[in-house]
Structure 1
């Protein structure tokens, strides 16, 4: 059930692979949510009437959820090309749902006026979970702020983990994605070796799902949209290398980073799998 305080004024910046289904889920839950993207509204099919030009998006905005790709695009949304901090006169809450360096996220508190509530809410589950409104959220922020905005998260997610103060959700997310990247690299290597050994892919994946090698990528191999992709700078496999870099940026001082560095190189070397 929606909270009347949030029925209007909710906006998603970045209506791509994750943002578009999140916008659809919010609207299905009763929120009059709007979207903004650098692509024209005509690219969004049934969602097109709800993806607005920047002036209209900014004028209605009170709660902003950013789902753009990286730090540069987040800076554009908040301070640069879109500059919603200045362009949206009624903006009261910013929710960061992109996966970014925790150092960058924590530093936002000093760059954004104190009157604006900040929550970091990166999510996990891939596009299929966004489409089915069952994302897992890692939340950072004041407990009251998170409780107040919980109706938004419940409209698009199924699992909610409050990890601590602002920035803690992002720290948890990059550590989670470091594991996801390692599982991706090793699962793909195992499947390549299985091909060369004459093992059937489906039979092996079924075995892995019920055995000690079980992991998210292997268990969802047919549903996860990027499971067979090779690395490209602008696809989800490419984003995984960015996420590993974000984890490395927040590594403890003096930490041994050899294994994460290797994982990043292995992900970058992935080729498409038929």
Structure 2
């Protein structure tokens, strides 16, 4: 657990954040509120410029700092930031920054990020830290994210005061890649819980029960969860726009399958949930919040009813 008291004085002096989307923007705002000078870059430039108090830049090269936080969907987007005249490598060279630290806050493949980190350190002298996040946009706004970290002990310890400005929990799990394995464990529970609640809501709706009343019962017992607390209203209002997309949930489940295979494990629940999200996306619902799997379940019921007529 990080201590949030007087951490500001121990924060690295040169910091950038690349990727000011739904998670990156509130992280940036929390850092700026803590008086951290922060360079910002986003592929859609106006999103970075819209954050008051930040220092928007025109390229990753211009944003290059001792510590670069990336809040991007997947590892290929991070890799694209490195090369070319506008890339981070050129920027670090121009700024004469030796041994920079590149933090990967996105949910990425544990296998791929470990290989990426080894290559970056060997070829470029860049230390890559994988530090996936949990807590959603609400946790990001409130500065109470959980950060699962993989990387060298001494580098992680240096970053902990910085991470403490936008999180409530920081835990190191091992070398680079270990944080993403911890996030895979997290996502098994999240995806399965979202799917289970969606099935419960579909059964309640099909049986003529009030969804709000059913949720009250669930919330009062062992079936309660952070998913239910944060997202329960989505099922009641059938509002599945925005949020964490089903497409990204399937990406995470694919990483889980890859990691389990490397560990020699078969994960039957995760496999079933992955198939369910594959079906949802095949129905054209991939951009919806992952709770929208409720619509996929209902569509399957309607298809079965129609086939039985």
What residue number does 2:78 align with? 74
CA distance, structure 1, for counterparts of residue 246 and residue 71 of structure 2: 17
CA distance in 1, matches of 2:147, 2:116: 20
The reply on whether 1:34 has 2:52 as its aligned counterpart is: no
- Match of 1:213, SS? coil
- Residue 54 of structure 1 pairs with residue 59 of structure 2: yes
1:85 aligns with 2:93: no
In the alignment, the residues of structure 2 paired with residue 48 and residue 272 of structure 1 have an alpha-carbon distance, to the nearest angstrom, of 41
Distance 1:7 1:138 in 2: 20
**Superposed displacement of residue 38, structure 1:** 0.5
Q: Quick check: 1:110 aligned with 2:118?
A: yes
The Cα offsets for residues 2-59 of structure 1, whole Å up to 9 and x where unpaired, read as 4446454211111111011111111111211122110022575344853321167335
What SS class does the counterpart of residue 163 from structure 1 fall into?
strand
What residue is the counterpart of 1:236 in the other structure? 245
2:174 is matched with: 164
Superposition TM-score, scaled by structure 2 size: 0.77
User: Structure 1 residue 267 and structure 2 residue 277: aligned?
Assistant: yes
Q: Residue deviations 1:223-268, cap 9 Å, x none?
A: 89xx966599x95222111111111111144432443232123234
- C-alpha displacement of 1:215: 2.4
How far has the Cα of 1:189 moved from its partner? 1.5
Matched, 1:20 2:25: yes
Q: Choose 109-118 or 235-244, whichever is displaced more.
A: 109-118
Aligned-pair CA distance for 1:198:
2.4
Q: Check whether the contact 1:93–1:117 (CA below 8 A) recurs between aligned residues.
A: yes
Per the alignment, in what secondary structure is the counterpart of residue 57 of structure 2? coil
| Closer, same or farther: CA 121–82 of 1 in aligned 2, 3 Å | farther
* Structure 1 residue runs without a partner (length 5+): none
Which residue in 2 is equivalent to 1:185? 195
1:120 alignment counterpart: 130
Q: Which moved more, 1:252-261 or 1:163-172?
A: 252-261
Tell which structure's C-alpha radius of gyration is larger.
2
Q: Give the Cα–Cα distance (whole angstroms) in 1 for the partners of residues 241 and 89 of structure 2.
A: 34
TM-aligned CA deviation for residue 69 of structure 1 = 0.7
**Structure 1 residues 94-132: Cα deviation after superposition (integer angstroms, max 9, x where no partner):** 111110000011102222135433321111010010011
Equivalent residue in structure 2 for 1:94, among 94, 102, 121: 102
Residues 250/81 of structure 1: CA separation in 2 closer, same or farther (3 Å cut): farther
Map of 1:241-252 to 2, 5 A cutoff?
241-252=250-261
